[in-house]
Homo-oligomer: A and B are copies of this chain.
């Protein structure tokens, strides 16, 4: 009889429930990780609400911190008992997409090797991290050792929030001395702000209306924070930049209003770096787009994964350049995960991120 574990399972729209499931078998390229900490993502809330479809019975979650319990027969270079994380995105390493550098669009198993969002497997196409145990596929590509001295909570943002947020600044091509605006200062936007700061931007403008988020925005690196509920963000940014606009605008919400505002504040030749997950068609306003003649770029990025990305992010934490622990505002046991969803989905009590411990 298989060993059993607790797992947060998608049952139907508006029902993610803690259930008993068998601890998974370990294939030759896999690793079984005993989870010590995980968290809930905004995407999980979309799943909860039935807005993003996943199979019934799937374990949810894609942000794992844990300990190697068992290694597949073909896995080399690791030992059981090591503390590890894996990215939210777990590329195979061998698809055409991976070999071209598009690990998040991994199409392993397709004829041609590309699949949109194909690198996102945990809690999407395979069982995820809100459980006692997690099966990590392609373990040699994905398991990253946690440096000595870092706690679970210190690295909990690495698998998704920090990787995604930073990629907004990186894909935007932020350069020394740039002016950068970040639209929305939720966990992802806050990490985009921190990323712009780490890359040497010198005028960083956060756009947000929730006071607690406005405050932490400054701590994460914003030089200015605009309360869009009181002032027009586009006007304010154009005034702050003396009419020039920003070099890079980062969209971190996934709405038409923020996408459009990001385009409106771009200088000619600027880059709109989009992180948001949109839920409807987007409109590009003709004027803000200079009718297609403004040398603008719009770039989108799905959370970069893989063990080397995780190593780099943890090295940033270890070096003391950034502390993401202030983003963890609430803590729950895995047994209480339904309450955690309730708090997080309804954005109660100033929640930014929750830590879940099995």
Tell me the minimal C-beta distance from A277 to chain B in angstroms: 5
* Contact among B109, B275, B292 for A276, CB-based, below 8 A: B292
Identical copies in the complex: 4
Q: Which residues of B contact A195 (CB under 8 A)?
A: 176
In the complex, whether A99 has a CB less than 8 A from a CB of chain B is yes
CA distance A279 to B287 in the complex (A): 9
CA distance A93 to B113 in the complex (A): 14
Given contacts A99-B307, A118-B268, A198-B200, whether A277 and B291 have CB atoms under 8 Å apart is yes
In the complex, whether A306 has a CB less than 8 A from a CB of chain B is yes
Name which of A54-62, A73-81, A205-213 contacts chain B: A73-81
In the complex, whether A298 has a CB less than 8 A from a CB of chain B is yes
Binary B-proximity of A288-300 (CB < 8 A = 1, otherwise 0): 0111111111111
Q: Which of A281-318 contact B (CB under 8 A)?
A: 281-286, 289-302, 306-309, 311-313, 315-316, 318
Tell me the minimal C-beta distance from A158 to chain B in angstroms: 11
Q: When the two chains form their complex, are residues B138 and A94 in contact, meaning their CB atoms are under 8 A apart?
A: yes
Interface majority SS (helix, strand, loop, mixed), chain A: loop
Q: When the two chains form their complex, are residues A308 and B113 in contact, meaning their CB atoms are under 8 A apart?
A: yes
Of A105, A170, A177, A241, most buried by chain B (CB within 10 Å of CB) is: A177
Tell me the minimal C-beta distance from A164 to chain B in angstroms: 10
Name which of A2-10, A17-25, A242-250, A347-355 contacts chain B: A242-250
Beyond A274-B292, A278-B286, 7 extra complex contacts between A and B, CB < 8 Å: A93-B94, A102-B269, A108-B140, A113-B244, A115-B268, A198-B200, A294-B302
14 residue pairs A–B, Cβ–Cβ below 8 Å: A77-B109, A93-B93, A94-B140, A94-B141, A96-B311, A97-B269, A105-B295, A114-B245, A117-B268, A177-B316, A200-B200, A276-B292, A278-B286, A297-B298
